[in-house]
Chain A
């Protein structure tokens, strides 16, 4: 199934419990229509990872996730030979090997005969597919989430670029595998380092910023069904006001959602300075940030 248009994306994502901006919906539609990967950037917690998951849910596709980190290599991302299994099998078929080399006149002859059987050990059976190979081999087009690609090494990025260009990989012992279906690819980045121009050129770029007020309100209400509209409004306004302070770690969407949730469970009906003080750890991760919020309480409340 594909998206039929931008409005279709809006509707389908929302029914998958993700509320996109029109910009997000446009990019998702384009990526689906042109089979290009999306490169998503934005501050932590604005829904980059969640977007990929939501696309998978809304299209009813499998989500395959590759979490990137420094030192991630092809073996971890693509496939590995199962050495242990191979070795075990060699032991189990030891007698058979004797049969194979029986009658060989020279050592070289014996080796040749074994080599002729090599294929048996480098076959599907002994390969352990990792996310990228899984994504290519899948018979239904999956959603491939390559999360935090900025954490990976430049070598890995170059490898990824090749893969994203032709969606095929060559396994020396088995030959070339080409994707049956081109996966819907989402790469996310937190700007730990800059991605190469070449990779960026392959992708449609999406920058997700903190959402507009209305959008955030809808998200908070969606994730906290039954919340009173007035409380949700206060939560969003306060979070947005705090975001405007010069903080090290600004509260993101998930903080708004979680804060609203805990206020509900505390049976708090309206936000007062006391409530903010009591629940501050839910909003600010750093002590210095908490201090700033405390100092700015008056202005925060006059603005809201």
Chain B
């Protein structure tokens, strides 16, 4: 039993689940407490120790099925002519066909009952990055790697058939068929693992929609359709709005955090009543110490929404410890300094003029994420809220969603604001549904009312 569970843990780890030794030991101890002939109990002990989030669950399910249901149990090779012996013989023949190809060898291992290398290989394919320079700019990188595995699977299938044909007289019809059955079933399993990569379902991402009408006409107009005059009008509204929000935030904190006694003030006031502390004064909590990273798509359609978000975020700067801002189209540029040095509206004008960004290039989310990972990965921490404002239209470039997943692990929360109506998400080149499972929250954000709702949630 210990060996079996240990093998399963290795498979989990190879696939990217983080299982600690403590959890492995917990699992063993708990298996002693339940009736393991009841599969629900057995599986529950495993899942509750090895898959500790909804996201890990799907991967766990797949591995569990593979390990305890699909992975063909190889019969013992008692004699060369037994089934086990024949399988071993054929595996050896297949092994000889290896030509240094990693995936080929991983599949052979898989066929001989050890799935670890193959699982690790799948994980590599799933998470590897495809820098533009390697011709992998279009979404072909991962596809090419998968194709490589597919080619090898087919090649092996043919080799198995060929072996059985060539040895028909020795094996006899039935044994030949059984051998074919065994290998084809294993190859099918490998194929399914490759093609049905369990993505996190994303059903735990909250989709927030609100219908609160903060402002009637202006509040409902899509950002992308504002005239110059309405943009001006919007700025004025935002000034007033920011004042209101700050007020609300202070009041909220004041009532929330009456926990620390302000000794000095209390004693000073007590003097008015002959030293009797009639009024107890509490210290106000400092504003929340959240860090914000805003990644804004500034290609024409999205910029109109992003600018107002930046405007509000920077107007509310004192609610956060720090606001880092980045803009991107086909590349990424940090613009925090511009916002810190200039008045907001001026900064917004300057951002487009001064940042090193090609505005007319096609938007490349994958490159943006790669760039962020390369240069700015030290910024996010467990107090950071990462806000991405964009339509997720990748122009069919590689979305590199694995990087977003990595970012999620470093941040407190990941929120995606999409200025397109939800009905258009995931149409055409929009990768919204690819990114969504890695976000804690996704929101449509195409007009002021929706933006206000978002900001209120953020600071209150």
Contacts and interface: CB of A to CB of B under 8 A. Distances in A.
Interface stretch (A107-115, A173-181, A188-196): A188-196
Given A6-B41, A23-B44, A203 B259 contact: no
A71 B276 CA distance: 31
B167 interface: no
A80 B258 CA distance: 11
B207 interface: yes
B261 interface: yes
Given A6-B41, A91-B275, A205-B48, A71 B256 contact: yes
A204 B53 CA distance: 11
Contact of A71 (B48, B49, B253): B253
A158 to B, nearest CB: 10
A194 B53 contact: yes
B352 interface: no
Contacts of B266: 83, 87
B240 interface: no
A205 B49 contact: yes
B34 A29 contact: yes
Nearest to A36: B26
A221 to B, nearest CB: 23
Contacts of A270: none
A200 interface: yes
Interface residues of A, number: 46
Contacts of B427: none
Contact of B382 (A42, A84, A154): A154
A220 to B, nearest CB: 23
A87 B277 contact: yes
A239 B64 CA distance: 30
Contacts of B38: 6, 22
A39 B453 CA distance: 30
B346 interface: no
B54 A191 contact: yes
9 contacts: A30-B33, A41-B54, A84-B277, A88-B277, A194-B408, A200-B52, A204-B48, A205-B51, A286-B209
A84 B280 contact: yes
A81 B400 CA distance: 52
Interface residues of B, number: 52
Interface string A242-286: 000000100000000000000000000000000000000000001
Nearest to A249: B207
Nearest to B29: A34
A27 interface: yes
A197 B259 CA distance: 30
Contacts of B207: 248
Interface of B: 18, 20, 22-23, 26, 29-30, 33-35, 38, 40-41, 43-45, 47-49, 51-54, 57, 203-207, 209, 211, 253, 256-257, 259-261, 266, 270, 275-277, 280, 285, 288, 382-383, 408-409, 412-413, 440
Interface in A57-86: 70-71, 73, 75-76, 80-81, 83-84
B45 A26 contact: yes
Contact of A193 (B41, B203, B413): B413
B30 A34 contact: yes
A208 B270 CA distance: 54
A34 B266 CA distance: 48
Interface string A1-18: 000011000000000000
5 closest A-B pairs by beta carbon, nearest first, are: A200-B52, A26-B44, A87-B277, A205-B52, A75-B259
Contacts of B45: 26, 30
Contacts of B48: 26-27, 30, 204-206
Contacts of B409: 194
B203 A43 contact: yes
A200 to B, nearest CB: 4
Interface of A: 5-6, 22-23, 26-27, 29-30, 33-34, 36, 39, 41-43, 70-71, 73, 75-76, 80-81, 83-84, 87-88, 91, 154, 191-197, 200-201, 203-207, 248, 286-288
A193 B52 contact: no
A126 B218 CA distance: 55
Contacts of A193: 412-413, 440
Nearest to B279: A84
B280 A83 contact: yes
Contact of B285 (A22, A71, A81, A91): A71
Given A22-B41, A201-B22, A248 B209 contact: yes
B204 A201 contact: no
Contacts of A206: 48
B259 A70 contact: no
Contacts of A29: 33-34
B281 to A, nearest CB: 10
A30 B440 contact: no
A204 B280 contact: no
Contact of B35 (A6, A88, A91, A205): A6
A36 B29 CA distance: 12
B261 A205 contact: no
